[in-house]
Amino acid sequence: MTSLSFYQVDAFADRPFAGNQAAIMPLDEWLPDDVMQAIAAKNNVAETAFLVASDRDDADYDLRWFTPAVEVDLCGHATLASAEIVLGEDAVRFSTRSGILTVERRDGLLWLDMPASRVAPVTAGGEAQALGQPVCGIWGVTGGNGGAIVLLENETAVRAAKPDFAKVAACSNGFIIATAPGDSVDFVSRVFCPTFGIDEDPVTGSAHCALTPFWAERLGKSRLSAFQASSRGGKLQCEMRGDRVLLGGQCVRVIEGRFSL
Q: What distances in angstroms separate CA 3 from CA 6, 45, 220, 257, 259, one per listed residue? A: 9, 20, 51, 10, 6
Select which of 47, 84, 104, 200 is catalytic. 47
The dihedrals phi and psi of 219, each to the nearest 5 degrees, come to: -95, -10
Q: Running DSSP on this structure, what letter comes out for residue 197?
A: T
User: CA 197, CA 129: separation in Å to the nearest integer?
Assistant: 21
The answer to whether the Cα torsion of 251, 229, 203, 36 is positive or negative is positive
The dihedrals phi and psi of 158, each to the nearest 5 degrees, come to: -65, -45
Could you give the 3-state DSSP secondary structure of residue 77?
helix
Could you give the 3-state DSSP secondary structure of residue 223?
strand
Could you give the 3-state DSSP secondary structure of residue 177?
strand
Apex 106 CA angle, 101 and 112, nearest 5: 20
The answer to whether the Cα torsion of 146, 231, 135, 237 is positive or negative is negative
Whether the Cβ atoms of residue 62 and residue 54 lie closer than 8 Å to each other: yes
> Torsion angle of alpha carbons 169, 171, 176, 181, nearest 10°?
-140
127 is catalytic: no
Write out the catalytic residue numbers. 47
